[in-house]
Each structure stands twice: as structure tokens, then as C-alpha cells.
Structure 1
Amino acid sequence: MGGSSAFHIIFSVTFMVILLGGLCEAVFHIAVDIINDIGPNVQLGLHCKSKNKDLGSQSLAFHQHWGFREAINLWETTLFYCHFEWGSESKWFDIIELKRDQWLCENNQCVWSIRPDGPCRLTGQEKCYPWHAVI
């Protein structure tokens, strides 16, 4: 009888973790929209990824948009970075840094303008950031 009760408790806890984890994963997302604002006639190459997910390479004409939507992990440590190239330039930036963006992006939508001096978040109050140093 004691073994059966332990099984039911373990089963119930496991089921709740899976159910709640699935609900949290399905409910909390962040969307990113990236705009090429480097300059007229300048093609912007970009490649975004996280520790576990590679979104592949993209190429954007001037003022063209590209975006993606990702689930926020349970620990709220979601991080995506992008590598940008145009002309002879090669830059990178953390395009989703949840602690920085979560409360500033309207309706969990972050719009980024990619400019020569650095990316600028257009949602909320516009804020520009410097490029990360290339190692």
C-alpha cells in the first residue's frame, strides 16, 4: 500500500511539472524583428543562434525585415545572439537578452534597427547599443 501511494505522488508531481512546463513554454514567447538600416544599396548578412538553436543565415536588403519568435525558458535566461556582416564589417550583438529586453519590449515584441554604429531597439523608448567586441 505504501509503494502505491509513493507511485501516485511521483506520478502526480511528474505530470504537473510536464503540464506546467508545457503551458509556460506555450504562453511566454518573445518575438524579434530585425531591420537593415545600414544604408542604401548595402546588403546585410546575419546569422542568429542560441546555445541550443541555430536559426541559419539570412540576407537583408536595405529596410528589409526578418524576424523570429522564441519561447522563453522557465529560468528566464533565454539568450540569442546574431552575427552581422556588410561590406568589410563583421559585428555581433545579443539580440535577445531577456533580463535587458523582457520588460522593455511591447507585448514581448522587440524591433531592432541594425545601424553601422550599433543596433537600436525601437520598441519602448528607443535605445541604441554599441557592438560587442569581436574576439
Structure 2
Amino acid sequence: MSYFKNNNNSIFFSFIFALNLALVTSSSLTPKLALFTPGYLMHIADALPNGAPPLKLRCQDKNHALGDQTLNVSEEYKFKFKGQFFGGTLYFCHFYWNGKDKVFDVFNDNISSGCGSLGAFLSECYWKVQEDGFYFGGRQDAQFEKRYSW
């Protein structure tokens, strides 16, 4: 009798495993998995000198363009997103200012490790755009590091 009891447990756990695997790999159910992925709040601040022309930018991931943005000095653009369940989340922005332009990843798996924690499943990332380039910090009060020049 114990053979059947153990065998039934194995079948039950195999069924649960197969069901979980189906949920994870099903593209139609992927949004439901977002409950278990970290959230991020991205900040992009115009820290250009007073009187500078407006900063223009366009950010997107592989599926969604977030639209054109125009920032004046001391203004900030913010957007929220969820990381992908198995990693690989990527957002990039194209910046335009004073006849210059620059494109780079504002978020990827490497950058995410430098973002500041706001809780168990929420982090924030800061970019400051200055006259000499682009600076990254994990929080607004963090020490910012220059990552890119114009």
C-alpha cells in the first residue's frame, strides 16, 4: 500500500511541476508573472546649465516606445516598468541637446545592480544629463558616476 501512496505523491508533484512550467513558458500568461518580478522607477533629470536649450529624448524597450519627451532645466522624466521574469529587461534612450545626440541603454541587467532599493520588489535608477555627459546613480542622493560623454 505504501508503494501506491508514494507513487501518487510523485505523480501529484510531477503534475504541479509541469503546470508551473507551462505557466512560465506560456506567452499569453506572461503578464501574470509580473507579480513575481521586480519593479523599477526610472528617473532622467535635466541637470543642464540654466538657460540651456531644452533636452529632448525618446525612450523605449523592444516592444514599447514611450514617446518623445522635452525637458527644461531641473525637470525630470519618470517611468515605471517591471523586469522580465528571467532577466533580459532592456530600455534605451536617444537624447538630443544643443546639436548633439547620444543613444545608450538606460537599463539592462548590468545597470539594474546599481539601482537603489525602495523595498523588496521595487528599485529606482537615476540618470542626470549634464553639459559634459550622462551620470548614473542608484538614488537621488547617491554619488553619481559619469558613464557617457556627449
Q: TM-score normalised by the shorter chain: which range applies?
A: 0.7 to 0.9
2:120 pairs with 1:109: no
The aligned counterpart of 2:50 is 40
Give the TM-score normalised by the residue count of structure 2. Answer: 0.70
Quote the RMSD (CA, aligned, Å): 2.7
Percent identity over the alignment?
A: 24
Runs of 4+ in 1 over 3 A off after TM superposition: 9-18, 20-24
Return closer, same or farther for 1:40/1:104 CA change in 2, 3 Å cut-off. Answer: same
How far, CA to CA, are the matches of 1:93 and 1:38 in structure 2? 18
* Residues 93 and 131 in structure 1, CA contact (< 8 A), matched pair in contact too: no
What is the identity, as a one-letter code, of the residue corresponding to 2:133? G
Give the TM-score normalised by the residue count of structure 1. Answer: 0.77
3-state SS of paired residue (2:19): helix
2:70 pairs with 1:50: no
2:120 pairs with 1:120: no
Q: What displacement does 1:88 show? A: 0.9
3-state SS of paired residue (2:69): strand
CA-to-aligned-CA distance 1:71-99 (integer Å, 9 cap, x gap):
10022111111011112111122111222
Instruction: Give unpaired runs (5+ residues) of structure 2.
Output: 1-10, 118-122
